[in-house]
Structure 1
Amino acid sequence: MAEFDVLVVGDANPDLLLRGDVRPRFGQAEQLLTAADLVLGGSAAITAAGCARLGLRTGLLAAVGDDVFGGLVRAQLSALGVTLLAVDGRGAPTGLTVVLSEPDDRGMLTLPGTIAALRPSDVSDDLLASARHLHVASLYLQPGLASGLAEVFARARRAGLSTSLDTNWDPAERWESIASILEHTDVFLPNANELRAIAGLDDVDEAASKLVAGGPTVVMKNGAAGARAWWPGGTCDAPGRAVEVVDTTGAGDSFNAGFLAARLGGLAIAEAIGWAAVAGSLSTRAAGGTAAQATRADIVSP
């Protein structure tokens, strides 16, 4: 039996989450906040935490520095039941994201630091042999990993793993290497804007059909509207769950965890996107990406 149900690869860093009057005004204007929280961040780390919360045996491969922020990442992942497979940060400080959070949107300022330190060679064949599924997150914050990820996914598939990818937004808006990576991807998990940008089409159905023709199932996060999935010969939708929103940070990552937990538990795609949409919704009930993540009981209860 594999050691891990899911091996998540990508970013792990603290998020400094600021709420209140967060739209910056220069000219030495002082603004007052209503809340500030230093929490576990990084798309990969939040997805891994969500997977563990949903009962999956979860490993996280991430580069983390030997500094205060690195210590915080290690302690929080351990408390959340995630096995951290740490790569040395290659001399960089642990990354940090400042999240300027409003009820229905957010802005992010990121210091890449160790986030960019992962390399394809860090995802060894021995490591792949320890897992059933490989998920990669925050592709475009990790250019060294991105340049060789197609081959990593190809090796994973040869080893019998299924694969999934959440690129997040490309700050350069070039979306490099994506076509070759998607050839070896079982499930692609974009939001609506990412789907449009990658496919170069405004209509999400046309955009998804274009990508599905290359191989992957496409599962789109659509905010409060829930989720939609496309695969060869089929499509389906799922609503989210109405909640009082505190903070949307990491909702898409919790969505990923819900989908992966359902699929690795043997559920069909139509059921899995329901899990994903509810998991994403429930995660917004508290500040940060992990404080209100769903359990299995939360998802199956009305």
Structure 2
Amino acid sequence: MKYDLLVIGDANPDVVVGPVEQPILFGQRERLVPNGALLLGGSAAIMACGAARLGLRVAFAGRVGDDAAGNFVRTALADRGVDVSAMIVDPSLPTALTTVLTSGDDRAMITSPGCLPATSADDVPTALLRSVRHVHASSFYLMPELAAGLAGLFKEAKAAKATTSLDPNDDPSGRWDRIVLDPLLRQTDYFLPNASEAQQLTGHPSVAEAAGILARRGPLVVVKDGAAGALTHDGTKVRKAPALQVDYVDAVGAGDSFDAGFVAARLNGFNGARALAIAAACGSLSTRAAGGTAAQADWELALGSVTA
């Protein structure tokens, strides 16, 4: 197989500024912050870069506009070792754009979705889908057309002996619709929400109990819980792993780096507990610099951080 991993989903520039004092003031008030950067963003794009950094052969399927932002995204992915030959350049819609406001260990994201809602299952080449070891998708609620066809894509990938994973990310509408998600979970090997997303999807305040509810829908559930670390739930058993203590800068993309670490560990033959520890290390290490990709770990550092 030419690729270990196919990542399907969102890719856009992030303008990351902060730390910002709360509340945010309108009324044409200007506020100065110490840090600002133009960086590669999008959950899927950051995960793809993290996986490539960990040594996987990665291809990306998604959509950008025929504009400067799209060129920035394609170049940033390619420079990090991700094959973008399957990425569609949309001549009629702009590339998505996100502004990230950081505040301590929290952040707010403002996104103009651009071409993301036009992304669909038809954007994924069949030959590519059938020739990879693993398929990962992100930002389920930002791309409704893709979400509607994702279960079919995962089913086809699994028929070709690939494994699958999904990071739902936030639902800007606040509806957390399960009608499309539940059939997809039956085709998903690893479901990778953060703690808040797991709670929103189930209505249960306990992270472990929420993970158990989701696991009973089919997948191994892997929940990211920030400084509290992470856990897996297979429907009966809970495993936990701590976060690493690092020199923290911001958590932008930490969950996506976690996803990359978990998938890379599984593809390298590590079991659930070991894979969880490696993933937690990757998520923690990515917070050492601003943005999602600047401090992503390579395989040697990730593995060494767990065995040390």
1:253 aligns with 2:252: no
Q: Quick one: which of 285, 290, 293 aligns to 1:290?
A: 293
Structure 2: runs of 5 or more not aligned: none
Kept in 1: contact 2:3–2:133 (CA 8 A): yes
The 10-residue stretch of structure 1 (79-88 or 267-276) with the greater mean CA deviation from structure 2:
79-88
Query: Which residue number in structure 2 is paired with residue 205 of structure 1?
Result: 208
* Count of residue pairs brought into register by the alignment: 301
Give SS of 2:172's match.
Answer: coil
- Cα displacement string for residues 146-204 of structure 1 (whole angstroms, at most 9, x for unaligned residues): 11212221121112111100010111122221111101110000011111111222222
User: How much does 1:90 deviate?
Assistant: 5.3
- Cα displacement string for residues 20-73 of structure 1 (whole angstroms, at most 9, x for unaligned residues): 335421112111121110000000000000000000000111101121111111
Give SS of 1:148's match.
Answer: helix
Question: Could you tell me how far apart the structure 1 residues matched to 2:148 and 2:247 are?
Answer: 40
Query: Which residue number in structure 1 is paired with residue 276 of structure 2?
Result: 273
Q: Cα RMSD (Å) of the superposition? A: 1.3
Structure 1: runs of 5 or more not aligned: none
- Cα displacement string for residues 192-241 of structure 1 (whole angstroms, at most 9, x for unaligned residues): 11111112222222222222122100000010111100114432100111
Kept in 1: contact 2:50–2:293 (CA 8 A): yes
Query: Which residue number in structure 2 is paired with residue 7 of structure 1?
Result: 6
Query: Which residue number in structure 2 is paired with residue 86 of structure 1?
Result: 87
With normalisation by structure 2, the TM-score equals 0.95
- Cα displacement string for residues 110-155 of structure 1 (whole angstroms, at most 9, x for unaligned residues): 0101222211122232121221100000011101101121222112
Query: Which residue number in structure 2 is paired with residue 97 of structure 1?
Result: 98
Query: Which residue number in structure 2 is paired with residue 264 of structure 1?
Result: 267
Mapping for residues 233-252 of structure 1, pairs under 5 Å: 233-252=236-255
With normalisation by structure 1, the TM-score equals 0.96
Kept in 1: contact 2:101–2:107 (CA 8 A): yes
Question: Could you tell me how far apart the structure 1 residues matched to 2:227 and 2:143 are?
Answer: 29
Question: Could you tell me how far apart the structure 2 residues matched to 1:248 and 1:202 are?
Answer: 23
User: How much does 1:264 deviate?
Assistant: 0.5
Question: Could you tell me how far apart the structure 1 residues matched to 2:33 and 2:202 are?
Answer: 39
Kept in 1: contact 2:66–2:91 (CA 8 A): no
Question: Could you tell me how far apart the structure 1 residues matched to 2:64 and 2:42 are?
Answer: 11
Question: Could you tell me how far apart the structure 1 residues matched to 2:70 and 2:167 are?
Answer: 23
The 10-residue stretch of structure 1 (146-155 or 267-276) with the greater mean CA deviation from structure 2:
146-155
1:184 aligns with 2:187: yes
1:69 aligns with 2:69: yes
Query: Which residue number in structure 2 is paired with residue 48 of structure 1?
Result: 48
Give SS of 2:170's match.
Answer: coil
Query: Which residue number in structure 2 is paired with residue 124 of structure 1?
Result: 125
Q: Quick one: which of 193, 196, 213 aligns to 2:196?
A: 193
